[in-house]
Amino acid sequence: MRIDIITCVPNLLESYFAHSILKRAIEKKLTEVHLHDLRDYTTYKHRQVDDYSFGGGAGMVLMVEPIDRCIQKLKEERDYDAVIYMTPDGERFNQKLANRFSMLTNIIILCGHYKGVDDRVRQHLITHEWSIGDYVLSGGELAAAVVSDALIRLLPGVLSDETSALSDSFQDDLLAPPVYTRPAEYNGWKVPEVLLSGHEANIQKWRYEQSLERTRERRPDLLGG
């Protein structure tokens, strides 16, 4: 999967892809992430990419032209399966969307900034609009990093144990069960006996019950009655 991220502050995102699991995924060529500085696509002086809102009102708006030029250039080079705009009024991003979109080959993620983008971008250039939660960030960069991370960790070979993404929270609409590691007892705090028993069927059963109990307690909405 290739992800092209369009932003006017690429520095904000660079370090995120330069460490840990995402860095290794890129090095192993399991994914490609390309950051595009919107300011490289403007024809205005001083690398301007935003302007005042027509009709007045506080806040600057990202202009349609540099965004269109950047997207068209990318589209000349390859086909894209989705052009996603990160925005607080988009569809709520979740694990199901992550699973579905991790199967795609090429996607573009556009980060908003300031008051957002000229609405003609949304009307003519964007195929999907996603929010990562009901709060407003100062830009879409963190949201784009969240989405990229959620997609990339699902790609085959990215996680060392390929089954580990399957046992994440939200797969099967259940929260993940608790996990423990050594020592088996610390300060008198004990690891549940069943996990030390070596009895695989009992362990699976215990984990499933714990998942169900956690979900019932913390996120009954996932069980949907």
Residue ranges in contact with ligand ADE by CB under 6 A: 86-88, 112, 131-133, 135-137, 140, 143
| Cross-strand bridge partners of residue 62 | 50, 117
Q: How far apart are CA 3 and CA 134, in angstroms?
A: 24
Residues 6 or more apart in contact with residue 212 via CB below 8 angstroms: 174
Rounded least distance, CB 23 to ligand ADE, Å: 24
Rounded least distance, CB 202 to ligand ADE, Å: 42
Q: How far apart are CA 96 and CA 3, in angstroms?
A: 18
**Residue number with CB closer to ligand ADE (136 or 201):** 136
Buried b (16+ CB within 10 A) or exposed e, 55-75: eeeeeebbbbbbbbebbeebe
Rounded least distance, CB 59 to ligand ADE, Å: 13
Rounded least distance, CB 140 to ligand ADE, Å: 4
**Residue number with CB closer to ligand ADE (12 or 203):** 12
Half-sphere exposure of 125 (CA within 13 A, CB side): 24
**Residue number with CB closer to ligand ADE (66 or 112):** 112
**Residue number with CB closer to ligand ADE (2 or 128):** 128
Q: How far apart are CA 29 and CA 175, in angstroms?
A: 31
Rounded least distance, CB 126 to ligand ADE, Å: 13
**Residue number with CB closer to ligand ADE (16 or 206):** 16
